[in-house]
Amino acid sequence: MKTNKYLVVAVTVIVSMLSVNCSDDSSPSVDYSGTYVLQDQMARPAINTVFIASGAPKDAFNVAIPSQMGSAYQGIFQSRLLALNAGYTTNALGLDAAAFTGILATDVLNVKTSGTTTFFDGTNVLTGRALADDVIDVELLLIFGGPAGTSNPTLTSDNVNANDKTFSNSFPYLASAW
């Protein structure tokens, strides 16, 4: 009986060693050949989701060249903005519907290489995005808040006012996993 136990342990150890050492991963090769398809353009969170309908328009938007997005989609964005907020005149940035949706329709994330990088802090607008930026609240404020940002107060916040975890002080600065 003891011999069988030792035999089982020995076989288990040998099989484990062989399965761990089956390949030489010291220089893994990565194959980048093939066809890649852009599935979703989402530089500014929720903008594509809210302003472009699913199906053919969204598929076309997702493969549009950013420099051509504004002229191709501004009218669609404006139509949707006015459907969401029929009372829209200007927003906290002083932009009327055409100007605001022209910016939104070009769905790129601008990044300022010097100075403040933020989605919107009251002074700096779309100069990038910091992890702590409350992007959804900013977007809701600009869509529903009116010229002073105080119109429709129940529609200008998602009421999620902080991240559930503290961001790290070292790269990549993300909060730790649960």
What tokens were used for 53? 């309908």
The reported pLDDT for the residue numbered 33 is 83
pLDDT at residue 2 is higher than 70: no
Kindly provide the b/e burial profile for residues 84-101, where b requires at least 16 CB atoms within 10 angstroms of the residue's own CB.
Answer: ebeebeebbeebebeebb
Matching residue, tokens 């702590």 = 132
The reported pLDDT for the residue numbered 98 is 97
pLDDT in tens, 15-27: 444 444 445 555 5
Task: State how far the Cα of 30 lies from the Cα of 10, in Å rounded to an integer.
Answer: 36
pLDDT at residue 5 is higher than 70: no
pLDDT in tens, 108-156: 888 889 989 998 888 888 899 888 899 999 999 999 999 999 999 999 9
pTM beyond 0.85, yes or no:
no
